Amino acid sequence: MKIKNYILATVVSILSLSQAIGTLISVNWDADTNQDGVSNGSFDGFTTTINMTNSTNDFGISGNGSFYDWKTRLVSDDITNISSGSIVTEGVAFDWDAGTQGTITINIGGTQFVDNRLTDPILVFNFLDNTVASFDFDDSLSLSLLDQNGASSASIGANNVVTTNGSHTNNQDHGFALQITGTEIQTISFNTNTNLLTNKDVGFSIIVDDTNVVPEPETAPLLVGLISIGYLIYSKKRKK
């Protein structure tokens, strides 16, 4: 291959690796049967840890299979591009005791990217129950419901409290998909309400557009570097 063609091929292949693809990825949760209130997973190089203080049971169990097939589950099947990417059929169960407020905290970390942060993550919830459940997010966040099932069963109220109307019956198609619009998100946290009459559990995962996985900052300098090296080789060859 001529040097010029080699440079072109290199540039094209690097661009194809780094360019926006516009597909969605979801958390690949680690297999976990330990009810310790902690679950771990990863997506696209990011490690994800969920900690929950909701319950003395502290579920924190990861599962897979059709229950968590987010492409087809009615809580998330209407998300734009839901079928486009690597949506893994996995989720985590968290729960909280009746009459007990708890907190769910998700930390995004990892070593692949410098800032280890996300843009516009989508939180998906299923297995909601026939009781009014609330999820109280930080008031400064910009929230929107992308999908839900049953119809009008979830809403975003004052102080960014997402509330269900108690019409769900604890199945894989009962819940909602909530997007947090924002950049450089490293920690996601919300409180659950105290007014549950009985102990409940909820299925959960996170979906993100892989073009919004921030920031791949090393790609541009790497690209410039490789082009420069390629050009130097090319120039040297020509001078011979």
**Rule CB under 5 A: which residues touch Ca ion?**
32, 34, 36, 38-39, 60, 74, 77-78, 127, 129, 136, 139, 147, 159-160, 170, 200-201
Min dist. Cβ of residue 150 to Ca ion (A): 10
Give the shortest CB-168-to-Ca ion separation in angstroms. Answer: 8
C-beta of 221: minimal distance to Ca ion in Å? 39
**Please, what sign has the CA dihedral across residues 71, 75, 81, 86?**
negative
Of 13 and 105, nearer to Ca ion (C-beta) is 105
Torsion of CA 166, 167, 168, 173, to 10 degrees: -130
List the strands of the sheet with 102-110, edge to edge: 28-29, 38-43, 46-52, 102-110, 187-192, 134-137, 161-164, 154-156
DSSP letter string over 110-149?
ESSSSS-EESS-EEEEE---SS--EEEE-TTSEEEEEEEE
Report the distance separating Cα 168 and Cα 114, nearest Å: 41
- In angstroms, give the least distance from the CB of 54 to Ca ion: 12
d(CA 95, CA 52): 8
Query: Nearer to Ca ion by C-beta: 11 or 132?
Result: 132
Q: 113 or 127, CB closer to Ca ion?
A: 127
Cis peptide before 150 (omega within 30 of 0): yes
As a whole number of angstroms, the distance between CA 85 and CA 38 comes to: 27
- Name the closest residue to Ca ion (Cβ): 60
- 157 versus 225: smaller Cβ distance to Ca ion: 157
Tokens 């997506």 label which residue? Answer: 43
The least distance separating Ca ion from the CB of residue 40, rounded to whole angstroms, comes to 8
Report the nearest approach of Ca ion to the CB of residue 100 (Å): 15
